[in-house]
Chain A
Amino acid sequence: MIEISVPRLLAASLTATLVLGVAACGSRPSEKKAAADTSKPMTIGISLPLTGDFSQPGTEARRGYEVWADQINKSGGLLGRQVNLKIVDDASNQDTVVSDYTKLITQDKVDLILGTFSSLLNYPASAVAEKNSMVYVEPAGGAPKMFDRGFKYLFFAQPATAPHQADVFVDWIKSLPADQQPKTAAYPTQDDPFAAPVIESMQKQLEALGVKTVYSATYPADTTNFQSIASQLAAKKPDLIAQGAVFEDGVGLVRSLKQLQYSPKIMFQTSAPSNAGQYSSGIGVENTEGIFYTVSWHQDAKTPRNAEFVADYKAKFQNADPAEDAADAYAAAEVLQAAVTAVGSTDQAKLRDWLHANQVTTILGPLSWTATGEPIGKFLLGQWQSGKAQVVAPADAATSQTVVNPKPDWK
C-alpha cells in the first residue's frame, strides 16, 4: 500500500558500483603473482584507525611506520627498492578494516602488509590476511584468543601477550626479601581484553606466593566515578594495589585515592602510566613517584637502532616524544624488513617460514614466535622516578638501577 516510485537512483548507484568493479578484471587470487617489477617501489599496505575510538594509538602507529620508511629509503630501500607506504583510515570500524585490507591485497596488489591497532581490529584484519596468504605482522593485538585460531601468517611484534605481561612484575616481587613482600593486595581492573588478563594472571601468581587478596573487582569501561572503589580500597588498606587500567581509569583511581588520602606501599597499573605526558599531567607529576607499570618499549633502552628511532621521530614530529605505540609499529616494520631481507623476495610463504624459524632483533629487544604467532618474551617493568618513566627490570634493559620502594605518600 505504500507509495512506490521509480527508483532511478537505485539504477544509478548500481551502475556506479558495477563500473567500479569491472574496471579491473583480476586473476584468481591463488595464482602466483608475476615476478615483481624490481624497478617499481615496493608498496606496503596498512589500514590504521586514524579516526574514531582508537585514533590515538592509530596516529602514533602511523608515525612509527613513517619513521621506519624514511630510514629505509635513506639507506637504499628494501631489496634495493624504495618503500612506499599506502596507509588508509579504517575509522576504528571492523567492517572498514576488512574492506581496507581486502582492497589493499586484492585490488591495489600491495607487495607486503603490516598490521593495524587494537585487538578489535586485528582479529578481522588478520583473518583477511590469512585468507589471502599474506604475512601479517601486527604491532598490537595481544588478546590471548588471537593465537588460538591456528593462523600461520600472523606474528605479534611485542614481547609478550596480555597474560604474560605482568610476569616481570611478579619476578620483581619474588626477588624482594620476604619481609618486604606485600602481605595483602587489591586488584581492581577495567573490563578490557588487555587489562583484565594481566591482572587476573598476576593475581593467580601472587596468590601462589602467599599474597592475600583483600579486594578484587572488574569495573565497566565507562566507569567515571572511582570514589567508591577508592573508599573501599582505603578501608581495606592493602599493601599492593594492582589496577588493570587502560588510561583514564588509571588517572581516575589515583585521583580518588589521593582525595581519600590512602597511599599503598606498592602501586601497579597496567598501561595508563606509559602515556607519559598525559598521565603525569592527569595526576600531577609529583604523585607519579614510585608507580609501577609494564611496557613493551622505553625511549632510553639500549636496544639496537632505538636511539636512531627516537632521534628521527623527534626530528620528524616537532621534537615530540615517541609513544610506545609508535615504537611497536616501528618494531613490526623491522620484523617484516628482517624477513624480506633474509629471504630476498616478497614470497609470502617463505617469509612466514623464515619468521617461524628465526629470531629478529628490534628496538623492543629480540622477538621470536610460537607456531601460532604468539611471541616468546617478557615485557619491561617500568617505574616513575623523579617525574620520569624509567625501566627497572629486567636488569639488562634497565635505565635506572634503583627501585623506589615503598612508594612515598601522595603529595
Chain B
Amino acid sequence: MYKPALKIAGLTSGYGDIRVLRGVDLELKPGTIVALIGANGAGKTTLLRTISGLVKADSGFSELYGESIHGLAPHRVVQAGFVQSPEGKQLFADMTILENLMVGAHSKRAYERRNETLEEVYELFPILAERRYQRASTLSGGQQQMVAVGRALMALPKVLALDEPSLGLAPIMVDRLFESIAKIRERNLSILIIEQNVFQVLEMADYGYVLENGQISLSGTGAELLGNSHLRATYLGL
C-alpha cells in the first residue's frame, strides 16, 4: 500500500493566544522534493517547529510513512526520521565542524552508522572534510549552511526539512547548494524545503505548496505554480 513519506492534515498551532497555523494539509511522496513558499509571517517556520514537536499542535495530525509522529517529544520525532536544518543555520559556533556533525548523529540508530554517514557527508561537501577541525564560526556563510545540512543528514532522516537554506548566501553559493540538495534526493530521501528564493526552488521541486495566513492557498507541481498568475504577481513580482 502506498504510504506518503510525510502527511499532515488539519494542523493548527500557535503561540499563546495567537493562532499561526489554521489547518494545514500537506503531503510528501517518497523521494521527492517539495517546496513550501510563503511571505514572512505566513507560518512556514512554525509549521516545521510544530511537526518537530518544538511547538505543540492544537489539533490535526502528522504521520511519517503511516506512523504517527503527532505529539511526540522533539527527540522522538528526530528518531522517527523527521529532521530539520533550522533557519539561520544555528551552528554551535565554538565547536569544530566535526563536532557539529557528530552532534547530529546522537540517536542510537544514527550513532551506530556515524562513520559511514560522515563519509557520505564529506563526499557531498568535500570542503567540510578539509576543514573538519576548524571552529564553525570561522566558516563562510555557504560553508556553514553545508554544515547545517550535513548535521541534519547525520541523523539519518527519512524526511529532511530545510528552513531557508539560501538565506544570506551569494548567488553562486545558492546554485551550488541547490545542486547538492538535488544530489541528496538521489539517496531516496524526501525533502521539504522552505524558501524565499521562489523561482529557483520551484524549478527544482517536484511539487510545491503556498502558505498564506496559516493555510495552504495553492499547490501544484513546480511548473504549474510558476505559471500561476497569482503566484507570479505576489512572489515573483511579474
Please determine whether chains A and B interact with each other in the same assembly: no
